[in-house]
Amino acid sequence: MNEQKALPGTIRDRIQELMNRKRIKQAELAEKIGESSSTFSRFINGVTDKISPDAIVRMAKEFEVSTDFLLGVVNDPVRKNYDIGQIGLSVDAARNLYTGKVNADVVNRLLTNPRFAETTDMIGLYLDDRLARGVAAQNELYGLAYENLRGIPDAKKDADEIRSWITNPHRDELDRIRESFEAVVRDIKKEYGSNRMKKTQVMTREITRGMFAEITKGQDLQNLRISPEEYADRICDYLAAGHGISRTLLRPFRWVMVHLIKLFGGKAAHGQPSDQ
């Protein structure tokens, strides 16, 4: 649904529409924003225009929209600016994002991936040891049952099976977290990596064709005669002119290329394997 077209423009109309969408009653909303039911009712019904700024802020938070949207300043309900503290980021975390120390694009894709919220919940449970405490208590019961049964000849098989149920309190959690996170990364790769890979393949193909055309310029393709130095020079000329790579950076590349051509090209010329 298009939020901009669906919602009317006045603050009262927008509040009433948002209440309907969230199925929250007027008295309930008044309590949530710290206003008396009678005061809030008078405002909604247009008897008074007075409402506290704090109430506007609390309503925006309740409906997950911006205060500017409630006030009719903008038509986009999505809040664009947040205080660091409001979204729970530490100063160091925000600095890492701002300075590019952390890849912001990857973070954006993680945060918008539906599975990632589940992964963070799993990590939270793991850090709090809530599930681990349950597993540890379960292990105690299994251990007690094993100790009571292992001395009974007819129950030895059952005792051994019960002992096999005892697990590392964190192992299963970590396995689930890893599987969940890997699924998130695979999702992101599908939407992000496939197009980039196609573009890279096209670009690589174009560069390779261009390099081959440069190398074979003026040559008989059935009987090429070109020295390693000339080969390397043509490649470097093509990369410098066509792709803006500096000659300084290409100098060591040229040196390596010449030596590799002499090494492997010489072996190939004498019918020897190149070991590669």
Is the per-residue pLDDT at 196 higher than 80? no
Find, among 28, 16, 7, the residue nearest to 72 by Cα: 7
Please tell me which residue, 248 or 169, carries the higher pLDDT value.
248
Residues 114 and 170 in one domain: yes
**What integer is the mean pLDDT of 3-18?**
71
52 assigned to some structural domain: yes
Q: Which residue range(s) make up the domain with 237?
A: 216-269
Instruction: Between 207 and 23, name the one with better pLDDT.
Output: 23
Cβ count within 10 A of residue 271: 6
Evaluate if residue 181 carries a pLDDT over 70: yes
Across residues 111-135, what is the average pLDDT?
A: 79
Assigned domain for 129 exists: yes
CA 169 to CA 133: how far, in whole Å? 7
With beta carbons less than 8 A apart as the criterion, state whether 71 and 85 touch. Answer: no
HSE-up of residue 150 (Cα within 13 Å, Cβ side): 11
- Total structural domains within the chain: 3
Q: Is residue 124 part of a domain?
A: yes
Q: Say if residue 171 is in the same domain as residue 120.
A: yes
The pLDDT of residue 1 is 38
Residue 65 and residue 111 share a domain: no
The answer to whether 71 and 39 are in contact (CB under 8 A) is: no
How far the first Cα of the chain sits from its last, in Å, is 59
Non-local (6+) Cβ contacts of 57 within 8 A are 67
Above pLDDT 70, what percent of the chain?
71
pLDDT of residue 270: 41
Do the domain assignments include residue 137?
A: yes
pLDDT over threshold 60, residue 102: yes
Of the candidate ranges 38-42, 92-96, 106-110, the one whose mean pLDDT is the lowest: 92-96
Domain finish residue from 70, 92, 115: 70
pTM above 0.75, yes or no: no
51 inside domain: yes
**Cβ–Cβ < 8 Å for 42, 48:** yes
Report whether pLDDT(156) > 60: yes
For residue 94, being part of any structural domain is answered with: no
Q: How confident is residue 29, by pLDDT bands cut at 50, 70 and 90?
A: very high
Indicate if 110 and 165 belong to the same structural domain: yes
> Average pLDDT, stretch 39-44?
90
Does 35 fall in a domain? yes
Residue 23 has pLDDT above 70, yes or no: yes
Last residue of a domain, one of 70, 87, 117: 70
Residues 6+ apart with CB under 8 A from 41: 26, 30
Q: What's the rounded Cα separation, in Å, for the pair 227 and 261?
A: 9
- Look at the block and give the residue holding tokens 């409630």: 70
The last residue of one of the domains, among 155, 178, 201, is 178
- Gyration radius from the chain CA atoms: 34
Residue 84 lies in a domain: no
In the block, residue with structure tokens 């174009």: 206
Residue 59 scores a pLDDT above 50: yes
